[in-house]
Structure 1
Amino acid sequence: MKQQPTRTARVLILGGSLAGTLAAAALAPHAAEVLILERDKALPDSAVPRPRLPQAAHAHMLWAGGADAIESLLPGTTDTWLKAGAHRIPIPTGMVSFSPAGWYRRWTETHYLIGASRDLIDWGVRTATLAIPNVIVRTGITVTSLTGTASTVSGVRIRDENHEESELSADLVIDATGRGSKAPEWLTAIGAPKVPETVVDAGVRYASRRYRAPEGAESNWPVIHIQADPREGRPGQVVSIISIEDGQWHVSLSGTRGGEPSADEALFEDFARKVRHPLAADFLARAEPISDVVVYARTANRQRQFEKAAMPTGFVVIGDAATSLNPVYGHGMSAAGLGAVALRETAAHTAVTAPRFAALAQKAVARPAAAAWLLAVGQDRFYPGAICRAPHLGDKLAARYINRLSHTAIGSFFVVKALTDVMTMKKPASVLGHPDVLIAAARGLRKPLLTGPELAPHEQSILDRAPLPRTQEASNAS
């Protein structure tokens, strides 16, 4: 039986999101009570959608860096996912990816990702976190403001389902309320200074749908990913196919401003066929659609730099409430996991009740979020119609270097591993500046460009089948 912590601190987590539940798991060993305040009337006890998580309808990639972080916080979670039908997909072996430079080779495994629905991933984390004895959740609670002063947050004001208002005191308040966070307004209301904010909005719109995988493609199936090329001077359009539980493919289309996908089911596969290569559309033509098309457009990259503001003690902002990212790069969940690990490490050497804990923790959680931010905006600011400051010389030089690395990675295992280290958030972006990587980029390709995708025999066999008829009945969601 687990021992209750001997410490006396009380921590409030605002939001039962993935970031919030991971933060609760990270801080539970360092507090007497961790209380999660969730606005929903109930949190699901199975892998089903949450009402306030519309992005869950779209394909998610949990990269190795994030999955390893979650496993370190909640041992056994990976096994829980896999037993529930998730897939451990080896990278780059299990990825058929058409980059701006061409087709990636399917080199030997160096990393991995978890293929699963967002609902399943959240359920695994939530179940493990709420099993911790000193983690409690209250649902149907709306946080209306912070209590305290410009120098110290002492708790929050809340409103329950019966519209009764009250105050909760705490030694530490963690805001994990997501993209819609009101932290800037709450801080202003208690006299705290304004928080620096940067927005890069390429106008990305998502359209997603689930398919029943063709017979023989339910497992051991690669991610199919057709990327956009910001250098083309046209809207960036992307399609991804990811294997998830229940023998399904989760398919997401995305397009930047001027090239957005439609919610019309009849146009879904047409869009997939008009991206830079029709491979994904060819596979979809041989699979059965089993859901409606769902669209989502709240995809602007927004960075609130709380770590650079004179924040009050006792208050930390994490996850999308601090840095929200264009989902097309798949780094939000991994950044949340790594941010929670940073919280745990901070609490390991500084008590959560210490006046300097919040400042130290805010800087720590900002580091993985900043790495994910650079990966996202380094591409998004170059698309036509992007709303942001104009790229300066440094941005352009960095983009040229990444393009050079991407080109070299087509024929260099050393470079593709370095890029994958960064993409999977196993290592910081600074590794791309290592002298060995610079030299490899200067040398260029070690193998010739591929003329087409590398497909295993069982993958090619799917394409050898006749496309399925698309009747009106088949086009409608079942």
Structure 2
Amino acid sequence: MNQSSAPRHAVVIGGSLSGLLAAAVLAEHATVTVIDADRLPEGPAPRRGLPQGRHTHLLWSGGARAMERILPGVIDAWTGAGALRRSLPTDLVTKTAQGWIPRCGEKQFNISCSRDLLDSVVRARVTGLRGVTLLQQSRVRALEGTAERITGVRVDTPEEEGRLVRADLVVDASGRGSRAPAWLEALGVSGIRQAEVDSGLVYATRVFEAPAGAHEAGFPIVNVQSDPRVPVPGQTATIVPIEGGRWQATLSGTRGGQPTGDPDLFVPFAKGVRDPIVGELLEGRKPLTDVAVTPGTANRRVFFEKAPLPDGFFAVGDSVATFNPLYGQGMSVAAQSLLAVRALLRAKGLGHPGIGRAAQRAIAPAVGAAWELATSQDILYPGATGTKLRAGAGLVNAYVDRLMTGATTDETLTGVLFDVITMSSAPTRWLRPPVVWHVLRASDRGASGVPPLTAAERALAGLAPVDGAVPGGGAAPGRPAAQTGSVDSVGQAP
């Protein structure tokens, strides 16, 4: 049997979400071994190697579509397990730096649930694929091979130290703590450049019991963002309805304004951000968990694609780049990156010379777009460290600021805003001539001065009526008559 038709084997380092998606993509071309240091849970349960899993995770429509293409039917599987498919901005009450976004008809969507549920559905789907096996409670100690070619990994398993697992392709999806740069350097690969932008962000999460009937009524996500244009620490507060009739509330603060793990300070912090609505909604609610606090959320990028990588290797997910979690980019970037890798493998095959380096280059565009969006904002906060804004960035930021101001009153700009932030379109979407025309006319005249909750939603949450609240019953204007977990809207964004 010649080399091109010989059975092939791939190793994925890490049973993370990106590692599982990588395994699904590779399973079309090879048998796959996923190696993880933990024993992966059977269902929706915490995973030791994912401490950030305790916090709010929103899967944007751009990422959900990409995962649906890799694992057909996964959106229905999530909603069948209890996740919520939320229309954006219909099911969203959000105050951006520029003001409250109106709740018009669906432009994009997200999947709202705990990270444990999200991962468990993907894990069950991928581990059920033919040719995919797990090597659990095992830790990769080194890459095997040379600076020209990776041929496998050395693994410490419960039964054996330094076990050699041979592979035609090794994918590092081990996450923020990846040791791939050190492993590659040990083989003689140098010059792997890294960058970091750190706003000093800390975030804290607590789960609460939602008001009776909130889940059935489709109570919206509620979010108050910070304003990086103001030279004070950025603080945010968010409530995301998740499975089981629960509210997952996350607070965040940049350097000098971080939340703490003190449960008595959780609601006061939420009431002290730019609008007190999240704190007001949480007041008197029964907490179901302690406060989980996570520091160390710097934006970090490893430029593997610019290094002389050996053949037979590439990295993906948090091993390549980690982003401020407030932007919700990580899962979507990983999914879109692996969709690009799938197209490459289908075109050239896993055994094509240089396929690892080509895959790393294919990943770079999705990573780069998210990196620019995240770091251009985070570097503005007091005390932020890292790569400074590039020349001309101020002009770009001023344009985006004007676009987001218009999004508070102009439904066209609301739509293009969500096209980009949900990673359904590239940021160049904002520069198309029809969009520029709307931006030039942008104004916040007539924007809502209060959170756009309906009167029924305020009553359900036990809040007093306010002047300027959205009128009507339990649905915001523009909400479709019925919503399901179907994938009818999965497809290419405009």
Structure 1 residue 25 and structure 2 residue 21: aligned?
no
Structure 1 residues 48 and 193: alpha-carbon distance in aligned structure 2, compared to 1, 3 A threshold: same
Amino acid at match of 1:285: E
Task: Please state how far the C-alpha of 1:81 moved relative to its aligned partner.
Answer: 1.2
Task: Please state how far the C-alpha of 1:463 moved relative to its aligned partner.
Answer: 4.3
Task: Please state how far the C-alpha of 1:20 moved relative to its aligned partner.
Answer: 0.1
Query: For 1:394 and 1:442, how far apart are their aligned partners in 2?
Result: 19
SS at match of 2:259: coil
Alignment partner, residue 9 of structure 2: 10
Residues 21 and 335, structure 2, Cα contact 8 Å, conserved in 1: yes
Alignment partner, residue 296 of structure 1: 294
More divergent stretch after superposition (421-430 vs 158-167): 158-167
Alignment partner, residue 166 of structure 1: 163
Structure 1 residue 312 and structure 2 residue 310: aligned?
yes
Query: For 2:373 and 2:332, how far apart are their aligned partners in 1?
Result: 13
Residues 184 and 194, structure 1, Cα contact 8 Å, conserved in 2: no
Among 333, 336, 351, the alignment partner of 2:334 is: 336
Q: How many residues align?
A: 459
1:413-428 → structure 2 map (5 Å cutoff): 413-428=411-426
Amino acid at match of 1:440: H
Amino acid at match of 2:348: T
Query: For 2:351 and 2:387, how far apart are their aligned partners in 1?
Result: 40
Structure 1 residues 322 and 212: alpha-carbon distance in aligned structure 2, compared to 1, 3 A threshold: same
Structure 1 residue 95 and structure 2 residue 92: aligned?
yes
Among 282, 285, 289, the alignment partner of 2:280 is: 282
Among 344, 355, 358, the alignment partner of 1:357 is: 355
- TM-score, normalized by length of structure 1? 0.94
Among 149, 153, 172, the alignment partner of 2:150 is: 153
Task: Please state how far the C-alpha of 1:164 moved relative to its aligned partner.
Answer: 2.1
Residues 208 and 293, structure 1, Cα contact 8 Å, conserved in 2: yes
SS at match of 1:179: coil
Query: For 1:221 and 1:183, how far apart are their aligned partners in 2?
Result: 43
1:368-407 CA-partner distances (Å, limit 9, x unpaired)? 1222212211210100000113334322222212111110
Alignment partner, residue 84 of structure 1: 81
Residues 59 and 328, structure 2, Cα contact 8 Å, conserved in 1: yes
Query: For 1:454 and 1:292, how far apart are their aligned partners in 2?
Result: 30
Amino acid at match of 1:192: V
Residues 286 and 462, structure 1, Cα contact 8 Å, conserved in 2: no
Alignment partner, residue 219 of structure 2: 221
Query: For 1:250 and 1:428, how far apart are their aligned partners in 2?
Result: 29
Residues 193 and 311, structure 1, Cα contact 8 Å, conserved in 2: no
Amino acid at match of 1:115: S
- TM-score, normalized by length of structure 2? 0.91
Query: For 2:244 and 2:228, how far apart are their aligned partners in 1?
Result: 35
Amino acid at match of 1:261: P
Task: Please state how far the C-alpha of 1:68 moved relative to its aligned partner.
Answer: 1.1
Query: For 1:295 and 1:334, how far apart are their aligned partners in 2?
Result: 23
Task: Please state how far the C-alpha of 1:138 moved relative to its aligned partner.
Answer: 0.6
SS at match of 2:215: coil
Amino acid at match of 2:279: A
Structure 1 residue 184 and structure 2 residue 181: aligned?
yes
Query: For 2:100 and 2:261, how far apart are their aligned partners in 1?
Result: 29
Among 166, 187, 208, the alignment partner of 2:205 is: 208
Amino acid at match of 2:286: E
SS at match of 1:36: strand
Task: Please state how far the C-alpha of 1:465 moved relative to its aligned partner.
Answer: 5.0
Query: For 1:21 and 1:223, how far apart are their aligned partners in 2?
Result: 28
More divergent stretch after superposition (178-187 vs 360-369): 360-369
Query: For 2:388 and 2:437, how far apart are their aligned partners in 1?
Result: 30
SS at match of 1:194: coil
Task: Please state how far the C-alpha of 1:447 moved relative to its aligned partner.
Answer: 5.6
Say what the alpha-carbon RMSD is for the aligned residues.
1.4
Alignment partner, residue 398 of structure 1: 396
Among 428, 443, 448, the alignment partner of 1:445 is: 443
1:304-357 CA-partner distances (Å, limit 9, x unpaired)? 111111111100000000011110111111111111211211111011111121
Alignment partner, residue 256 of structure 2: 258
SS at match of 2:42: coil
SS at match of 1:241: strand
Alignment partner, residue 120 of structure 1: 117
Query: For 1:113 and 1:7, how far apart are their aligned partners in 2?
Result: 41
Point out where structure 1 has 5 or more consecutive residues left out of the alignment.
1-5, 467-478
Query: For 1:371 and 1:45, how far apart are their aligned partners in 2?
Result: 35
SS at match of 1:252: strand
Residues 214 and 288, structure 1, Cα contact 8 Å, conserved in 2: no
Alignment partner, residue 55 of structure 1: 52
Alignment partner, residue 196 of structure 2: 199
Residues 27 and 343, structure 1, Cα contact 8 Å, conserved in 2: no
1:202-245 CA-partner distances (Å, limit 9, x unpaired)? 01001100001011212412110100001110000011111111
Amino acid at match of 1:303: R
Query: For 2:389 and 2:100, how far apart are their aligned partners in 1?
Result: 28
Alignment partner, residue 136 of structure 1: 133
Which stretches of structure 1, 4 residues or more, deviate above 6 A after TM superposition?
none
Alignment partner, residue 45 of structure 1: 42
SS at match of 2:343: helix
